[in-house]
Amino acid sequence: MAMMTYAQAAVLALQHEMEADASVVVLGEDVGRGGIFGQYRGLQERFGAERVIDTPISEAAILGAGVGMALAGLRPVVEMRVVDFALCAMDEIANQGAKNRFMFGGQGRVPMVVRMPIGIWDASAAQHSQSLESWFAHLPGLVVVCPATPQDNYSMLRAALASGDPVVYMEHKTLWGMQGEVDAGQSVELGRARIVRPGADLTIVSWSRQLQACAEACETLSAEGVQAELIDLRSIWPWDREAVLASCGRTGRLLVVHEAVQAAGFGAEIAATAAEATGCRVRRLGAPRIPVGYSPVLEAQSRVTAADIAASARGLLGTRQ
């Protein structure tokens, strides 16, 4: 076990994969100097500019090159800097990368990992603060993951590279400096959730940075005598129906929390599935359908806080505080 940041865990994962397999390459803007969050620090010095490739500022060209590399037998890691910029390359990922295996009868595979940092990043405004995981979960052919801890950022990045399919890999921009223990020998299966804390009164499901706010809310609820079971979904698609439904069956109540806009968010899919399968009471909690503001006062309107989560849980339980 070693203590490291979320960003350092990703660097270590890539280092291990690149040492083990010469077909793993990295491409994107500023990756040679370590990336804007330090998530590639030292890799170009170690593996050379032929494997850690700085590109022009063209997201469509970067992602298109990544799809071509993957079809030619490489395992590219494609850097989009932030998810907002990936919108310039939606055809390459939605119509080329995601559909190639299906349209050519399995003759082509696209073992590509596309890193798209998500979430509110202080004072970054509407074009650099979005959480768009539900967009990519909607597209058949893509795997979508959202690691919330340094350990998961290490293990899930390695699992994503090994999956053989195009993976949209979404790291929250405010987690890069988060410290945690990382066991390089620990593997993770994509599509498996993690029980963060057990509880019998209600189930709370979340992912990525919002998990921290949920954990804080669970502490508040515990002091009030409410024991919430907190589940880190980790993979948005495929998602762990078995773990979520088993928990909902025990507690009879489900609260799904995400930083993304609540309207048409992935929480709706989880809530509907749980209600249909178990008959549990459900509630969703996400951001209002507004652009993220630049000023702190406006930005705060888009945040889902621990207090909001605790209040929503109380409403689901029929209690007041």
- Position 43 scores a pLDDT of 98
Q: Which three-class secondary structure state does DSSP give residue 214?
A: helix
Q: Which residue has the tokens 């299966």?
A: 189
For residue 251, with 0-12 CB atoms within 10 Å meaning exposed, 13-18 middle and 19 or more buried, which class applies? buried
C-beta atoms surrounding 240 within 10 Å: 20
pTM score: 0.96
* Predicted local confidence at residue 66, as pLDDT: 98
What sign does the CA torsion over 202, 236, 163, 115 have? negative
**Tens of pLDDT, residue by residue, the chain (321 residues):** 899 999 999 999 999 999 999 999 999 999 999 999 999 999 999 999 999 999 999 999 999 999 999 999 999 999 999 999 999 999 999 999 999 999 999 898 999 999 999 999 898 999 999 999 999 999 999 999 999 999 999 999 999 999 999 999 999 999 999 999 999 999 999 999 999 999 999 999 999 999 999 999 999 999 999 999 999 999 999 999 999 999 999 999 999 999 999 999 999 999 999 999 999 999 999 999 999 999 999 999 999 999 999 999 999 999 755
Which residue, 10, 2, 3, 36, is CA-closest to 153?
Answer: 10
Whether CATH 3.40.50.970 fits 2-182: yes
Report the C-alpha gap between 86 and 39 in whole angstroms.
18
How confident is the model over 170-210, as pLDDT tens digits? Answer: 999 999 999 999 999 999 999 999 999 999 999 999 999 99
Active site residues: 128
Residue 125's pLDDT is 93
Neighbours of 321 (CB within 10 A): 10
Ranges of CATH 3.40.50.970 domains, the chain: 2-182
CB within 8 A of 120, min separation 6: which ones?
129, 131, 173, 174, 259, 292, 299, 302, 303
Going across the sheet that includes 167-169, the strands are 52-54, 24-28, 75-79, 113-115, 167-169, 143-145, 235-237
Straight-line distance from the first to the last Cα atom of the chain, in angstroms, rounded to the nearest whole number: 41
> What is the pLDDT at residue 320?
57
Closest among 215, 251, 211 to 233, alpha carbons compared:
211
Q: Would you give the DSSP letter of residue 139? A: S
Query: What residue ranges of the chain are covered by domains with CATH 3.40.50.920?
Result: 194-317
Topology at the third CATH level for domain 194-317: Rossmann fold (3.40.50)
Evaluate whether 275 touches 267 at the Cβ level (below 8 Å).
Answer: no
Give the 3-state secondary structure of residue 55: coil
